[in-house]
Amino acid sequence: MLSRAAAIEAIAGQRFEVVVIGGGITGAGVALDAASRGYSVALLERGDYAEGTSSRSSKMIHGGLRYLQNLDLGLVREALLERQLMVQLAPHLVYPTPFLVPAFPEERRQRGLGIGLNMYDVMATTRVGRSRREMRSSKQEDEDFYWSPDRHRMIDRGEVLELVPSLASRDPKNAYLFFDCQTDDVRLTLTILGEAERFGATMLNGAEVVEVLEKGGRAAGVAFLEADSGERIEVEAENVVNATGVFADRIRPEEVVGEEDVPRISPSRGTHVLLDRADLSTGSAACIVPAGEGRAIFALPWYGRTLIGTTDNDFDGDIDHPRPGEEDVAYLLEAVNEFFGTSLGERDLVGAYAGVRPLISTGDPKKSVDISRKAELYETSSGMLTITGGKLTTWRRMAKQTVDRLVEREARVAPCHTAEIPLGMEARPGDLVAPQGVGEEATAQLAFRYGHAARQVLALAHEDARLAAPIVPGRPDLLAEAVVAARHEQARSVADVLLRRTRLGLLAAPQLRDAGVARAVAAAIGAELGWSRRQVKREAEAWPAAAAAAGIDQARADGEGRAG
Ligand SMILES: Cc1cc2nc3c(=O)[nH]c(=O)nc-3n(C[C@H](O)[C@H](O)[C@H](O)COP(=O)(O)OP(=O)(O)OC[C@H]3O[C@@H](n4cnc5c(N)ncnc54)[C@H](O)[C@@H]3O)c2cc1C
């Protein structure tokens, strides 16, 4: 990625065919799609890339079994096809995980579940809706191109315990086993941005759009505030795309003819907590955990921790800084304790976070839990397009829908290519040469997180032994990653590195209370960005407030960082 200084120079006062507002996964997808169809593109992100909901998801690339209950068949099918495509396009970053739905002697098996899983299998095939002849001719092609999970099956007690030994005390009878996928949501967003840049898009974070410029009643660009200088900068654009997720109804041209031209967002908060695997491990499988009133949550293995989530409640709090709800944390822990027979409390948490879903309000008085997760595209009379709703999994479809509309209204011939554009480049851990002291866990993590670009991190670690050290003792993230983040990914704060380039804020929050960690990260970034010693100190000191604003450290003894 260009440095911020170079990006400002490339964007300020320039004219683009498309300007995208918002650097979450949707904006990143629109930038990639438009750039790969030949548009000149600038993308502006107010804070840091993926700082909104795209760093706060459950990190699943999935069809969404529970949407089957709402008979949202189109949404599930679409997401399942995207899931297959993502494994193909980003094999280092999107991986299948076995999911278990265990049954216990005292329970009666839910009959609907088997039917639902059968539908899930059928809908995941690329051949649904095709004639036999089409199926025959495309079978080989599909098998060559698409990853496809095994069908679900019932596994016996022995196999359940082999996959999830911590269920032993519950004496499971058997379990349904099916597959879904996991990822690192921020890394997926950054990888898509990286590809967009390869196709010529320019992106800038710390760039808050404050006005949609109009000319003759048409949206003709935007004005943004550059975070470091506070300067107001204008960019001309033939097309303006608003991809600001849960903030989408805040970006409005001066004149909106009909309220139906812009979305009304009805935010819903989802809280997650993370546990040390020594306290609770689901092995390499995920478990679906009943959580009362017919609801269910997940316990997922993620970066060597156990990720528990999520809740789904209407939210009227601060959407700029959503924090885990105290009641939500208690609800998640209670469900997990009951299921695994543990007695874990807030003090056992290694991390926590909350995200806000950009659900589109239909004016329906139903709870958000029942509102569909469909993406919606809006167009104002000024021509500004707003794309919001949807899921992490369906980013590519949302981007395609948006850029198809641009293409259609300009009567261009410019088909979408994103189904064929690899996202990053795969690297196998064994192909990476690590300096002494950097173990297998670190190399495997680097291969997952960066793919081929892991070599950049390792080159720094080879050059300077200090950068080969872990940021937090016992975790595989290297200090060299802070340097790469500042040099190649426009990271500009300790929080950018700890919350989004690495995910240490979610995985090791109590260890980040040690001021030395923030100091080391600030020094590494500062050396890249030319910070004075005073600025390094100031940036390190800003970390505890950033951590508290995100509510990652629920285990903090004094209760700081909790929210209602
Ligand atoms: C708790 C939870 C769990 C989820 N789990 C999953 C899951 O497992 N799988 C799945 O597929 N989906 C999941 N989702 C949904 C998914 O995370 C979201 O649909 C997706 O991340 C939304 O991305 P986005 O780019 O539209 O929005 P965001 O990621 O919020 O991006 C919008 C961006 O716009 C920026 N912005 C706002 N205003 C301005 C401005 N004025 N100028 C410039 N930039 C601006 C923001 O800073 C932000 O970065 C989950 C959502 C939640 C809340």
- Alpha carbon distances (Å) from 447 to 94, 297, 459, 512: 12, 29, 14, 24
> 87, 391, 493: which to mutate for ligand 1, most atoms within 8 A of CB?
391
Give the separation between CA 532 and CA 521, rounded to whole angstroms: 14
pLDDT tens per residue, range 431-466: 999 999 999 999 999 999 999 999 999 999 999 999
- Percent above pLDDT 70 for the chain: 91
Exposure letters 152-177 (e unless 16+ CB within 10 A, then b) = beebebebbbebbebbeebebbbbbb
Q: Is the pLDDT of residue 274 over 90?
A: yes
Task: Choose which residue among 20, 32, 51, 247 to substitute to test ligand 1 binding: the one with the highest number of ligand atoms within 8 A of its C-beta.
Answer: 247
- Choose one of 57, 208, 314, 493 to mutate for the ligand 1 pocket test, by most ligand atoms within 8 angstroms of C-beta: 57
User: 2 is written with which tokens?
Assistant: 């260009």
Higher pLDDT pick, 369 / 400: 400
Percent composition of the chain: helix, strand, coil (DSSP 3-state, to 5): 40, 20, 35
- Please say if the pLDDT value at position 303 is more than 90: yes
**Whole-angstrom distance, CA of residue 352 vs CA of residue 354:** 7
Ligand 1 contacts CB of residue 393 (under 6 A): yes
Q: Which residues contact 151 (CB under 8 A, 6 or more apart)?
A: 121
Relative to the CA of 310, which ligand 1 atom is closest?
1
pLDDT digits (tens, 9 = 90+) for 337-358: 999 999 999 999 999 999 999 8
Six-digit token string for 90: 């980003």
> In this structure, what token pair is assigned to residue 293?
């009133």
Residue 356, ligand 1, Cβ within 6 A:
yes
| φ, ψ (nearest 5 deg) of residue 142 | -60, -45
**Which pLDDT score, from 0 to 100, does residue 47 have?**
98
pLDDT for the residue numbered 367? 45
The pLDDT score that the predictor gives to residue 266 is 85
- pLDDT at residue 555 in the model: 87
pLDDT at position 559: 53
Pair of tokens at residue 249: 């109804």
pTM metric for this prediction? 0.95
State the DSSP code for 403: H
Count the neighbouring beta carbons within 10 Å of the beta carbon of residue 474: 7
Phi, psi of 323 (to 5 degrees): -125, 155
The whole-number pLDDT of residue 134 equals: 59
Instruction: Pick 149 or 297 by higher pLDDT.
Output: 297
Give whichever of 107-116, 180-189, 252-261 has the largest mean pLDDT.
180-189
Quickly state the pLDDT bin for 8 (edges 50, 70, 90): very high
User: Is 309 within 8 Å of 291 (Cβ atoms)?
Assistant: no
| Structural contact between residues 64 and 75, judged by C-beta atoms closer than 8 angstroms | yes
Of 107 and 284, more confident: 284
Q: What secondary structure letter does DSSP report for 473? A: T
Whether residue 299 is predicted with pLDDT greater than 50 in this model: the reply is: yes
pLDDT tens figures, 230-258: 999 999 999 999 999 999 988 877 666 67
In this predicted structure, what is the pLDDT of residue 561?
Answer: 43
Q: 64 CB less than 6 Å from ligand 1?
A: no
- pLDDT at residue 262 in the model: 78
Distances (CA, A) of 136 to 80, 142, 224, 488: 21, 10, 53, 46
Asked if 223 contacts 233 with a C-beta cutoff of 8 angstroms, the reply is yes
What values do phi and psi take at 304, rounded to 5? 75, 10
